[in-house]
Amino acid sequence: MVSMTSSHTMQYIGLLLLAAILLQTIAVAVTFIYFSNVLSTMKETFSKSSVSCLMRANLRTIKGQELNGAEGKDDPCWQVTQQLHFLIEKSMSSRYQKEITSAVKDQEDSSRPKIAAHVTGSYTPESEKDGAGLPNRKVYGQKIQSWESEKGLAFLQNVELSDGELVVPQAGLYYIYSQTYFRHTLIEEDESAREDEYGSMGESVRGKPMLQYVYKKVSSYQVPILLMKNARTTCWSRDSEYGLYSIYQAGLFQLGSGDRVFVTVSNVSTIDMDEKSSFFGAFLVS
């Protein structure tokens, strides 16, 4: 009798445990399903809100809210559009920066080397002038050889200066210019001769003609080719110790690789070789 009672008690306890486990399982399942539905609903709502914030109609509203200050910042759409705006701005800025850097690098790599020269007058001791600038039967005038290429205003950039001649390294169209400053002094012999010719009562005397030439040398032709020339004949007062006159000329010329350019004048000894008064140069145009 006691044995049967114990058996029924054990069965009853087992049923209670089974029922408790079943109820707990059902509760967990219901809770999981509930929260899953809630998360899904929130995700869908947020997605729809984000997409709707990008629509034109909502963007106009958001723009008005943004102008209203703090009221606009409380709107979720305003936050979405602001984040999107910052993301786009950052992406575009990075892209443009890369493109600009690449373009500048390509331009530097493909750019033509700078070719230019500006040489200026240089005072040379008399002992170094012996034999310099002597007349050449192939050209008019006397070549100026004492050009300064490094000091003061003078410079050479991918151009060589040799024996008073600029040597260009590359074929192309060059702008060539030259200015020479003449200082003519009235010596007694010339003054006496002019008095005999024009009479002692003349108030002025006629100066000697001043000429400037610009030549180029090419390897295929032995005789230098005249590019430009300019001349002046002036008068100055009989009471003046000297007369000052300048000649300037310039032009565009096609030069080949290795061509040489130089300047000659009617009389080298009359040139005032100051760097701001007498100079010569060339640079590549195209």
Residue 244 phi, psi dihedral angles, 5° rounding: -115, 125
User: Can you list the alpha helix ranges (DSSP code H) found in the chain?
Assistant: 2-53, 56-67, 70-73, 76-110, 188-198
The reported pLDDT for the residue numbered 198 is 40
Binding-site entries: 235
User: Which residues have CB under 8 Å from 74's CB, separation 6+?
Assistant: none
Q: Mean pLDDT in each 10-residue stretch from start to end of the chain (286 residues)?
A: 65 79 82 80 64 52 49 60 72 72 59 82 59 65 93 94 95 96 64 43 57 94 94 69 82 96 92 92 94
The reported pLDDT for the residue numbered 250 is 95
Beta pairing partners, 166? 161, 261
Q: Is 256 helix (H, G, I), strand (E, B) or coil?
A: coil
The reported pLDDT for the residue numbered 141 is 93
The reported pLDDT for the residue numbered 203 is 42
The reported pLDDT for the residue numbered 207 is 61
Binding-site entries for Zn(2+): 235
pTM of the model: 0.55
The reported pLDDT for the residue numbered 4 is 60
CA 81 to mean position of chain CA atoms: 40
The residues spanned by each domain of the chain are 2-108, 116-284
**The pairing of beta strand 260-265 with beta strand 242-255:** unpaired
- Nearest of 212, 214, 228 to residue 166 by alpha carbon: 214
The reported pLDDT for the residue numbered 106 is 60
SS3 assignment for 159-188:
CEEECCEEECCCCEEEEEEEEEEEEEECCH
The amino acid at residue 12 is: Y
DSSP letters, 80-128, are: HHHHHHHHHHHHHHHHHHHHHHHHHHHHHHHSPPP-EEEEEE----GGG
Q: Does domain 116-284 have CATH number 2.40.70.10?
A: no
